[in-house]
Amino acid sequence: MEEIKIIEVKRSVFADNDQDAQELRDHLKNEKTCLINIMASPGAGKTSTLLQLAIELEGKLRWAVMEADIDSAVDTEKLIHGGVHSIQIHTGGACHLDADMTKQGLKELDTANLDLVFLENIGNLVCPAAFDTGAVKNMTILSVPEGDDKPLKYPRMYEICQLLVINKVDVLEYFDFDKEKVIEYAKMRNPEIEIIFISAKTGEGIKELADWILKSVDEWNSQ
């Protein structure tokens, strides 16, 4: 099994984050590598969604995961165990990744030989939404137990994402979660946002999500 690699990244106080992000995107463009930034609350199912995607994306492209956490390597362990090439980034307590931190992590992956990298951002609906990481696409995962009102409370997250994935639909009947309402609230924040309902437990909706990802990679390479 792949060994767990932990990279301690540091935030540059003087950086112009928007410029760093654009430079990183230009670099990824040259390497024909698509970077997708996944953001969510703690426990919404970022890692388990990636594990399901591993089955669906098998043999379709060359990809890896940069897993960002404040501490521990539990998610990277799970991904490697599931056969996903991944590295662990530690942020030294920071609540989000900026573009330079993302770049520091990407250096540890051979991006020239990858079509796609997922950045699994810190579990937090506030701060990661305020920093462009240099990603090509932003997606957020909202899980059913969290409630359908999250787009009302965390506007920026929904404004900056191209895709909203609603996870844990297998437990819909046990929670007071209104699918129509969550669509209405998310579209209120961002009329362009696409929405896919999945269960990372049962695999429901994962094919649709994988198709969205494959299309994003294609678009990035043909732009």
Task: By CB under 8 A, name the binding residues for a second copy.
Answer: 41-43, 69-72, 74, 93, 95, 122-127, 130, 143, 145-147, 149-150, 152-156, 168, 171, 174-175
Cβ contact 154:176 at 8 Å: no
In angstroms, give the least distance from the CB of 189 to a second copy. 10
In angstroms, give the least distance from the CB of 90 to a second copy. 11
Structure tokens of 63? 């990809």
Closest CB to a second copy among residues 170, 208: 170
| Exposure of 49 in the CB half-sphere (CA atoms within 13 A) | 32
In angstroms, give the least distance from the CB of 213 to a second copy. 24
Quick one: how many helices (H) and strands (E) in the chain?
Answer: 8, 8
Closest CB to a second copy among residues 172, 214: 172
Closest CB to a second copy among residues 20, 69: 69
Closest CB to a second copy among residues 45, 114: 45
Compute the distance between CA of residue 38 and CA of residue 132 in angstroms, rounded to an integer.
12
In angstroms, give the least distance from the CB of 58 to a second copy. 24
- Region of 48 (left: φ > 0; alpha: ψ -120 to 50; beta: rest) is alpha
**58, 40, 36, 106 alpha-carbon torsion, rounded to 10°:** -100
